[in-house]
């Protein structure tokens, strides 16, 4: 059985996100109760559904990130996880992410991007301005270097 390790500790900002989501779901519940004038049964059903969504979301938020193992890289996102063998990965590099709004380009910071041998790219959850690395830029660089080092070692240094 493969052992996966996240090469960094999650940032405290994740708990702010989890708290914000709890507040947003509570607000959604309150507005739903007021709008639809729910009875006791509807209230319990709504409360259970929102609690289940929050628990699932909290679990996924706490698990998000990049995990390394002997045979590859596992990326846990909010809704999906993906495992890549080191042999499938062509390059691990930094990417200057940005967004376009018409002609305006808004930079959003560095991310770690995985280029696969089949020509596809895979975004990671590693973002220099994200909740895990915003106040820890040295840790972001260290994680990036660890991913590159592991990839090179798995390829026998032939990259």
Query: pLDDT digit string (tens) for 60-115?
Result: 999 999 999 999 999 999 999 999 999 999 999 999 999 999 999 999 999 999 99
Distance, in Å, from the CA atom of 71 to the CA atom of 86, rounded to the nearest integer, reads 6
**pLDDT for residue 159 is more than 70:** no
Q: Contact at 8 Å (CB) between 106 and 98?
A: yes
Over residues 18-46, the mean pLDDT reads 96
pLDDT of the residue at 155: 85
Q: How far apart are the first and last CA of the chain?
A: 28
DSSP H/E element including 110? strand 104-116
Q: Determine whether 147 is exposed, middle or buried from the number of CB atoms within 10 Å of its CB (0-12, 13-18, 19+).
A: buried
**pLDDT for residue 1 is more than 70:** no
Query: pLDDT digit string (tens) for 36-50?
Result: 999 999 999 999 999
19-39 core/surface letters (b: 16 or more CB in 10 A; e: else): eeeeeebeeebeebeeeeebe
**pLDDT for residue 20 is more than 60:** yes
Over residues 8-21, the mean pLDDT reads 96
Q: How many CA atoms within 13 Å lie on the side-chain side of 7?
A: 22
pLDDT band at 156, cuts 50/70/90? confident
Strand order, beta sheet including 121-127: 89-101, 104-116, 121-127
**pLDDT for residue 26 is more than 60:** yes
Over residues 128-151, the mean pLDDT reads 96
């Amino acid at each position: 059985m493969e052992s996966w390790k996240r090469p960094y500790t999650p940032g405290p900002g994740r708990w702010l996100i989890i708290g914000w989501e709890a507040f947003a779901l509570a607000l959604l519940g309150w507005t739903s109760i007021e709008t639809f004038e729910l009875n006791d049964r509807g209230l319990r059903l709504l409360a259970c559904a929102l609690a289940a969504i929050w628990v699932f979301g909290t679990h996924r938020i706490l698990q998000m990130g990049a995990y390394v193992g002997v045979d590859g890289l596992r990326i846990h996102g909010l809704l999906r996880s993906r495992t890549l063998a080191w042999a499938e990965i062509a390059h691990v590099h930094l990417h200057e992410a940005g967004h376009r709004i018409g002609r305006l380009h808004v930079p959003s910071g560095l991310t770690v991007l995985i280029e696969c041998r089949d020509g596809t790219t895979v975004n990671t959850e590693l973002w220099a301005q994200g909740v895990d690395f915003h106040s820890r830029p040295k840790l972001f660089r260290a994680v990036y270097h660890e991913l590159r080092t592991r990839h090179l070692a798995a390829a026998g240094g032939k990259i």
